[in-house]
Structure 1
Amino acid sequence: MGREMAQSKGAQGTQAQGEPAASGTAGARHPGRRWRPYTAAVVAVAAVFAGSAAIGAHVRSGKTTAFKAPSGLPSAGPESLAIPVRPTVPVTLTVYEDLRSRASRDFARAYAPTFDALLRSGQVQLAYRLVTQSDTEHGGTGSAQAANAAACAQDQGKDQFRDYVAELWRKQPDPSSDKFASGAYLIRLAKKVKGIQEAEFTPCVQERDHQGWVRRSQQQFAAAHLGDVPVVDVNGRTYSVTGDKLTPAKLRKLVAAAVKQAQGTTPSAAPSPSASGQRAAG
């Protein structure tokens, strides 16, 4: 992506001031049973904490399925799954990438100058779809957790999203490692990004506020059978970076053809997309 881009409050068991005296009285009458009131109190407090923990787990579980788009995105429709960099232009260039994937990282770095040039042209908006293929391939949840954290950064602004993703690329572990599954690690990386407010970012990561959004993005990506990431969509036509042998030069030609078509003119030599390129994104 380069440059472009509650707490479960355990109830505090309190005892009335008069209870110890009552226990003492009971103990005097039944010496062998003096421990029972205290045991009952411990069990009661443990039950309260266990109930609180269960409620907290239920809330966290709900957030992994509830759909909550990051700030700045529509709440419904295909666009709600893509994080845009610049709106209202003739061509939308959507990049599907996996934050745990080496291929996605290398693509983001290699194509950063091309993306910058296309954005400067004023004819292209760039959007990112975060998917989690590598979690299925390697096991674990690192890709999903990193995508949720990136969405938490987006809550604070597109610059924060761009810079946080760039930091994830810099610190990306080997795909066989699930280091991104650590919320503490993802929060630590955010401290290096200017503008991210830790007080808002930390609970968003810990409670996985956007996990349902991440899950929906991956489900739609898989259902569309778009192949391995990275995948690029140009105004509704998708291209596999490897399968279609995409290059920066070819991408610029695809965008130029899409611009002409959007402006109502017939492109002189529109590239022929492969079978995968004919599928609609999302």
Structure 2
Amino acid sequence: MDIKYIEDSRAKYLEPPQKQSIYLFLCFCGIADCSPSYSYGPAVRPQYVIHYIIDGEGSYTVNNKTYKLKKNEGFLIRPGIVTYYEADKDNPWSYMWIGFNGVKAETYLSYANLNEENLIFEYSKDATLKDYISEMLKLNEMDYSNELKLEGLLYLFMSKLVETRKEVFNQKAYKSAELYLEKSIEFIENNYSNNIKINDIASYIGINRSYLTHIFKKNINISPQDFLVNYKIDKACTLLQNTDLSIKVVAHSIGYSDPLTFSKIFKKVKGESPKNYRERFFSNQI
């Protein structure tokens, strides 16, 4: 049986004659420029269907929830679930769709974080999803070569969705780490005079010490312990330069109860004692 292919001024549709693979197979694909307020449903599909919006806007309603969607966003229709979607009346969407099934379909969708709880995705990195479906629509003559190409393009399409999820997760992880770093430094700025420990910072942020150390080293190439010490010593230098406070008071002001310990750490960081630092600073002012 020949492949089913329909094309007119507003749409293209392709449906392979048979599904060879039991793991993942293409049922149909298409592209359409929808007229204002064009709708489909309420209806139930026997297969998985993904719509990817290439322009315009519209809405997707499923499980009594309506999603407003636009260019570079997409939605998943799960088999056996009543859905309804409608193009915007002022800026109707153009979209591409791909229907598929197979025993591995749900597993591959889960890799992309698409499931009954999460039916919406975004892909704005490039035109790859659109290109894959466009390539499918060109294969409108059925032979063994095109059969394999269609199956390969379907797998590539799914891999892009999975890749997008990984990029989003990495981006979220980066933003979380950036926030942890920001809050850690803020905590140090507000509490350096209280003899805080690294565990105090980690507890405040809500992460363990080893992860806190990983964040500092990865983002600013220094451990939180070294950052804290350097911050304290910088504050001590400011006090030594701008006040006549005793070394003991300066030590207490930056969280060291023992002036001797403070002096040892100061010398390790600055290469000289607090007293010598102060004397040298004022001698250079003359």
TM-score range, shorter chain: under 0.3
TM-score, with length taken from structure 2: 0.28
Choose 1 or 2 for highest CA Rg: 2
Higher strand share: 2
